[in-house]
Amino acid sequence: MPSKTRVGGLALGLALLLAITLVSQSPSLTLLSREGRRPIALSLVGDREFVGLDDLATAFQLTVREESGALTVSYKGRTIVLTGEQALASIGGRLVSLPARPVRSGSRWLVPVEFISLALASIYDVPLDLHRESRLLVLGDLRVPRVSIRHEPLGNAARLTIDATPRAASVVSQDGTRLTIRFEADALDVTPPPIQSQGFVLAVRVVDPSTLAVDLGPRFGGFRATSEGIDTTTRLVIDFMGTPTDAIPGAPASASPPSPPALPDLRPPASPITTIVLDPGHGGSEKGATGPGGTLEKDFTLAMARRLKATIEGRLGIRVILTRDDDQLMSLDDRAAVANNNKAGLFLSLHANAAPRPDVAGASIYVAAFSEQDLAGARLVPERVPLFGGGLRDIELVPWNFAQMRFIRQSAEAARLLEGSLRERVPLVTPAVASAPFRVLESANMPALLIEVGYLSNPSQEKQLANSDFQTVFSQAVVDAVTSFRDQLAAGDGAER
Amino acid sequence: MTGPRWVPAAGLALAGALLGWVLFFGLPTWYGERPRPPGTPASPVPAAQGRRIKARLFYVAASGSKLTSVEQDVPYGEGTIEQAKAILMAQIAPPSPPLASAIPPGTALRALFVTQDGEAFVDFNAAFMTAHPGGSLNELLTVYTVVQALTTNLPLVSAVQLLVDGKEVDTLAGHVDLRRPLANDPGWVE
């Protein structure tokens, strides 16, 4: 007599039945979806992992029916037929090999875990992606990069190389005795390896779905993180350096220790840019532009600036200061003053644009513009002032609102590099670089750009600007441009600071 | 020795003529029209009845990212200031489709004067700022609509400074520096 089993609540009783068979429990499979995470129990039959059809039925709204020794798994009119006799599944008449045949365990049927990717994924209407190593089952279009970790002891230093495929940006920050590496992803397909510690890195752990933690050892004195894209992989390299008095623990305090082998110098080179000031445009009662969907420019610029700050600090180790870190009204002079007073090496004012016609879209980069009259008016004769202890000295007085004049060439170069970095990644207007008499740039006493990330007045771009992936891609492009600009300055190409 | 008796009378007549020139021609040229209380529109242009000239007015280009110029008839104005007012009144008037203006709705001209250096000071009502939709491109197009309209059509005007409600303003919407006059910039026109 056919028995139709709509499996939903067998749970506890069936688990007891399992216990008396040859089947034993093993770590669970984690089902990851937009709604969250939930475990699906795995069972070991021999050395192979199986999953209960009843659990799959509950998780994916399947109907499982047993008739004449055949199992029929149905979903929205599509079926898979299995038997306990063969390691085969028939999917709409097409036969698929399974690594093992289904196994009965009490009143339950267990199928090899590969059934999910080999058979169930074929009839389900949402992508199912099984990550065997990390026991993740991803439902839907989520970002779950595969992450591999390699640890290299280097004597007086150590290096972690972390590859994420497909590409995923990450932010590295130190929190006491551990580093956290937060990936722009919904989860990670990762199995942290054991670490042969030499005192810099003790362990690498997964602390939440998208975050790794690196436990730091007693020899840790500092770190430097760099990131680059290699094909479809983002490679994050973290170099760990010792303290100035670092010595290998347990080493004998002999009078004449052998000379250590030559090691690579992992200290970061002196950077011509030690501070960057990011200026989230507008704020408080000055809302800036408003998108048709209600997005306020002042909110977007603050979110973008926070993300960019984290990316720059994580990748380049450069101090980043925001002109505002909350929703406050701030004058344009005060914004430039934050950059000038902190001796920033670069000032980036972040904005979202609006145009009279809704189809205008794309990012643009502005440098300050000065008229011939401005340039003539700013040519001041140096002023001679007395010094303490006697003597005179010529000092150059620069009018506050013309401070940017000395940096126009460097600003234009930074804009060119940023355009090149953005071009392949985000839409740009034509031309992407322009000059305009923008007040916030004129008083900046360092290379300065105003970046319009996109057009809020364009309905589709308004949604794009709010997208986390877009913001990440844009931030990465800015960081790459900052890196190139910094390197050019370090090479002495027009460095002012 | 005494001069002819007509000399004092001629002197008085000359002084009177000079005073009249200063009052009715010199001062208006030097200082233009005094700002009015808020909300009071500029006076109608005193022009020869029905006489018109051709002027290039500026509207949003089809691309949406620059301005385009359109030749239109505007009332003739006697002198640079009156002509500048006539041009601006036509420029800020809502255009007929498909033309689109970058001037915020409700904008009204309060006052205008031109210095001897050719710098025009244009005073708009508060709507010029409060009704502005924001965005640096919108702001650039608004500002250069006015700058281009005056500097393109009036050879004696070399730069334009914008005022709002009779006062200097830093910017219109947080971007463009309005603390000093802006010169003609053909880069914003297709």
pLDDT tens, B104-133? 999 999 999 999 999 999 999 999 999 999
The band of A280, judged by pLDDT with boundaries at 50, 70 and 90, is very high
- The predicted-structure confidence for B42-80, as pLDDT tens digits, reads as follows 444 444 568 999 999 999 999 999 999 999 999 999 999
Q: Which of B137, B159, B170 sits opposite A354 (nearest CB)?
A: B137
pLDDT attached to residue A485: 95
Residue B187 Cα, gap to closest chain A Cα (Å): 10
Q: How confident is the model at residue A226 (pLDDT cuts 50, 70, 90)?
A: confident
Contacts of A433 in chain B (CB under 8 A): none
CATH 3.30.457.10 describes domain A3-139: yes
Cβ count near A378 (within 10 Å):
15
Partners of residue B117 in chain A, C-beta under 8 Å: none
ipTM over 0.85: no
> Could you give the CA distance from residue A198 to residue A156 in angstroms, rounded to a whole number?
9
Shortest CA gap A341–chain B (Å): 21
Interface contact A290-B134, CB threshold 8 A: yes
The model's confidence at residue A15, banded by pLDDT at 50, 70 and 90, is very low
- Report the residue of B58, B60, B136 to disrupt the A interface, i.e. the one with the largest count of A CBs within 10 Å: B136
- Quote the CA–CA distance of B165 and B149 in Å, as a whole number: 20
A458, closest residue in chain B (CA to CA): B64
B42 has a chain A CB within 8 A of its CB? no
Q: What percent of chain B lies above the pLDDT cut of 90?
A: 73
- Tell me how far apart the alpha carbons of residues A147 and A134 are, in angstroms, rounded to a whole number: 10
In the stretch 97-116 of chain B, residues with CB closer than 8 A to chain A read 100, 102
E-assigned strand segments in A243-368? 275-280, 319-322, 346-353, 363-368
Mean pLDDT of chain A: 84
Residues from chain B that touch A300, judged by Cβ atoms under 8 A, are none
Query: Both tokens of residue A17?
Result: 């039945």
CATH 2.60.40.3500 holds for A146-242: yes
Instruction: List C-alpha distances in Å: B170 to A198, A282, B27, B181.
Output: 59, 14, 28, 12
Confidence of residue B9 (pLDDT cuts 50, 70, 90): low
Strands, DSSP E only, in B31-117? 52-60, 67-75, 109-114
**CB atoms near residue B37 (< 10 Å):** 8
* Cβ atoms A318, A248 nearer than 8 A: no
Contact between residue A272 and residue A495 where contact means Cβ atoms under 8 Å apart:
yes
User: Does any CB of chain A come closer than 8 Å to the CB of residue B40?
Assistant: no
Mind listing the pLDDT tens digit for each residue in A407-456?
A: 999 999 999 999 999 998 999 999 999 999 999 999 999 999 999 999 99
From the list A287, A356, A371, the residue facing B183 with the nearest CB is A371
Task: Report the residue of chain B nearest A450, measured CA to CA.
Answer: B175
| CA distances to A247, A392, A410, B78, B177 from A489, in Å | 36, 32, 9, 57, 29
Mutation target vs B (from A285, A296, A297; most B CBs, 10 A cutoff): A297
Task: Test B100 with A357 for CB contact under 8 angstroms.
Answer: yes
Looking at residue A449, its pLDDT comes to 98
Chain A hits for B189, CB-CB cut-off 8 Å, are: none
Closest chain A CA to residue B175: A438
Q: Give the mean pLDDT of A46-57.
A: 90
Q: Please give the average per-residue pLDDT across A208-230, as a whole number.
A: 84
Cβ count near A1 (within 10 Å) = 3
Contact of A340 with A403, CB cutoff 8 Å: yes
Q: What residues in A contact B100, CB-CB < 8 Å?
A: 356-357
The segment(s) of chain A belonging to CATH 3.30.457.10 are 3-139
Option in A297, A331, A356 nearest B64 (CB):
A356
Residues of chain A with pLDDT > 90, as a percent, come to 42
What pLDDT, on the 0 to 100 scale, is given for residue A8?
A: 42
Q: Enumerate the CATH 3.40.630.40 domain ranges in chain A, comma separated.
A: 275-490
> Which member of B141, B170, B177 has the closest CB to residue A356?
B141
Q: Which one of B135, B140, B177 has the shortest CB-CB distance to A439?
A: B177
Of A287, A331, A452, the CB nearest to B136: A452
Report d(CA B148, CA B184) in Å as an integer: 6
Is the CB of B136 less than 8 angstroms away from the CB of A401? no
For the domain with range A275-490, which CATH number is right: 3.40.50.150, 3.30.70.20, 3.40.630.40, 1.20.140.10?
A: 3.40.630.40
Chain A CB contacts of B170 below 8 Å: 331-332, 439
Q: Where in chain A is the domain with CATH 2.60.40.3500?
A: 146-242
**Which of B135, B138, B171 is opposite residue A439, by nearest beta carbon?**
B171
Tell me the range of A108-112, A154-158, B128-132 where mean pLDDT is highest: B128-132
| Closest approach of B5 to chain A, Cα-based (Å) | 55
Q: How distant is the Cα of A298 from the closest Cα of chain B, in angstroms? A: 11
Do residues A205 and A149 lie in contact, with contact meaning Cβ atoms separated by under 8 Å? no
**Residue numbers in B near A465 (CB within 8 A):** none
**The token pair that represents A35 in the structure block:** 């709604």
What is the reported pTM?
A: 0.57
pLDDT band at A133 (very low <50, low <70, confident <90, very high): confident
